[in-house]
Amino acid sequence: QSALTQPASVSGSPGQSITLSCTGTSSDIGAYNYVSWYQQHPGKAPKLMIYDVSNRPSGVSNRFSGSKSGNTASLTISGLQAEDEADYYCFSFTRSNTWVFGGGTELTVL
């Protein structure tokens, strides 16, 4: 099972909107609506930001939203803030009854 494909790095200016992509296959992202996204600041544990493609846990800012089209999931962050600078990982259940992470995207707020 290969890792889901994420761009290694993305950058944006404060106030902008940016979209992070996560590309898989018909055996993982395309198979189920079980895509989740995690934010990880340096030295910290990952934090759940989006689950089941587009649902936000309680306490997560509504500036974060998720979507999916075919085999690609996306995380959009609107009104970019300095505190959003972090690594972001996607995660999906697969038809093999296993799971897979994306390689991660480093988000820089300019």
3 binds another protein, rule: CB under 8 A: yes
- Binding of residue 64 to another protein (CB under 8 A): no
86-93 and 105-109 strand pairing: antiparallel
Does 103 bind another protein (CB under 8 A)? Our answer is yes
Nearer to another protein, 14 or 57 (CB): 57
74-105: string of b/e by CB count within 10 Å (b at 16+)? Answer: bbebeebeeebbbbbbbbbbbeeeeebbbebb
Residues that bind another protein (CB under 8 A): 1, 3, 34, 36, 38, 40, 45-48, 51-52, 57, 87, 89, 91, 93, 97-104
